[in-house]
Amino acid sequence: MRLEYAAWVWIGLLAACAGVALVYLWHRRRRGALDALGSSGMLERLTQIDLTGSPYRRAALIAAALALMGLALAGPQWGAQEVEEQTRALGVVLALDISESMWAEDTRPNRLERERLEARRLVTELAGHRIGLVAFAGSAYLLSPLTIDHGALHLYLDAIDPTLAGTPGSSPAQAISQAVSLLQADGSEGGDRAIVILSDGESHDEERDVLNAARLAAAEQIRVYALGVGSDQAEPIPRYDRMGERIPGFKLDPNGEIVLSRMSSQPLAGAARTTGGFWARVDEGGVSRVLAALSELREGRGTVMRGVRWTPRFQWFVAGALLFLMMDWAWAWRRQR
């Protein structure tokens, strides 16, 4: 036998002990009250009821009923059967921008932290679906294949920052291509697939390269949704060391001028439209819009999960508890006749 909520067994036993104690105390109090009224024999002859009988039978019945109810609430199960279940889920790849411009602080505390926050929300809201992770700067990097182990995804999200990028710059074209390859390699059958890009939109790619990558996604019936992180105002990029620690000053160009960065909708907005998706700002409900769009997509058949299914048997214990309570009621009724 298997118990789904074993703690209820102990609660039932405690309730049974408490029931016995209450019945015993009630009997003692009743016996004291009867003794104060007069002879117990005389009272029995007058009422034709056994007023001083032993309480132990009733205590035993109530204790047994409470113990069985505790067992019923514990979720007893037996009769295991091997089952196979095929998961149904969307295939979604999150592509996260880790270029140096994500250090900009036009959203607090900075674009990178806002990107992490929104990515965590997406992972949480997409519970049960297969999610993969790609990070990109001048090149794209595979962080995780599609998985339902979202705990591991949160660990990756905690670790990403521009210090991980081996190539400077920002290449959304490579991010889209890497995400498409990841979805093509997924073993699910049928269902819609999507790529969600979180980025400030700055790109060192030619616009045609980004659109060509989007056309490749569209040919595979993969939708691209892009979320803009940052503001339209020009913002300097703080400097960080290789350990990801802030150091004084801002990033400079070859002429010694401070590099300014601002969020841009292009070329990601055009890429998203090419696939039937859209671009939206995270600070204007963009994540909610993406989640609503994903909820309308068709789920596909995923991996086959094998396990054991146990048959619930709580009803037998409920029936036993009711039987003991009926016996207690019948015994009390007979004493009063």
Burial 260-286 (b: 16+ CB within 10 A, else e): ebbbbeebbbebbbbbebbbbbbbeeb
- pLDDT 10s digits, 312-324: 888 888 999 899 8
Does 265 lie in the same domain as 174? yes
Do 42 and 109 lie in one domain? The reply is: no
For residue 259, what is the domain's CATH number? 3.40.50.410
pLDDT at 302 over 80: no
Question: Which residues make beta-bridge pairs with 34?
Answer: none
pLDDT in tens, 164-220: 887 888 999 999 999 999 998 876 655 689 999 999 988 888 999 999 999 999 999
Same domain, 33 and 54: yes
**Residues 324 and 297 reside in one and the same domain:** no
Q: Give the angle 29-35-41 at the CA atoms, nearest 5°.
A: 120
Which has more pLDDT, 292 or 19?
292
Residues β-bridged to residue 238: 250
CA distance 149 to 216: 28
Q: Same domain, yes or no, for 50 and 101?
A: no
Q: Provide the pLDDT confidence category of residue 299 given band limits of 50, 70 and 90.
A: low
Same domain, 282 and 185: yes
Token pair, residue 273, equals 């439209």
Co-location of 187 and 134 in the same domain: yes
The reply to whether 91 and 57 lie within a common domain is: no
Q: Which ranges of the chain would DSSP assign to H, the alpha helix?
A: 7-37, 40-47, 56-73, 111-125, 150-159, 172-184, 207-219, 268-274, 286-295, 314-335
90, 111: one domain: yes
Asked if the structure places residue 42 within a domain, the reply is: yes
CA distance 257 to 306: 61
pLDDT cut 90: percent of the chain above it: 37
Instruction: Kindly report, residue by residue over 78-137, the tens digit of the pLDDT.
Output: 777 765 555 567 899 999 999 999 989 888 889 999 999 999 999 999 988 889 999 999
The conformation of residue 183, written as its DSSP 8-state character, comes to H
Q: What is the pLDDT of residues 31-49, one digit of tens each?
A: 666 566 555 555 555 555 5
Cis peptide upstream of residue 109 (ω within 30 degrees of 0):
yes
Domain contains 329: yes
Q: Is residue 215 part of a domain?
A: yes
> Does 327 fall in a domain?
yes
DSSP per-residue letters across 134-178: EEESSSEEEEEEEES-HHHHHHHHHH--GGG-SS-S--HHHHHHH
Determine, yes or no, domain membership for 142.
Answer: yes
Structure tokens given for 12: 């039932």
Q: CA-CA distance, 329 to 188, in Å (whole number)? A: 60
CB atoms closer than 10 angstroms to residue 129: 23
For residue range 78-95, what is the model confidence (pLDDT) as tens digits?
777 765 555 567 899 999
Give mean pLDDT, residues 230-240. 89
Shared domain check, 246 and 324: no
In a domain, 39, yes or no: yes
Strand partners for 40: none
Note whether 26 and 100 are same-domain residues.
no
pTM: 0.64
Q: How far apart are CA 337 and CA 334, in angstroms?
A: 5
- Domain extent at residue 31: 2-75+313-335
The two beta strands, 222-228 and 2-3, are: unpaired
Residue 80 is assigned to a structural domain of this protein: no
The number of distinct structural domains making up the chain is 2
**Together in a domain, 221 and 289:** yes
Please indicate, yes or no, if residue 81 is contained in any of the structural domains. Answer: no
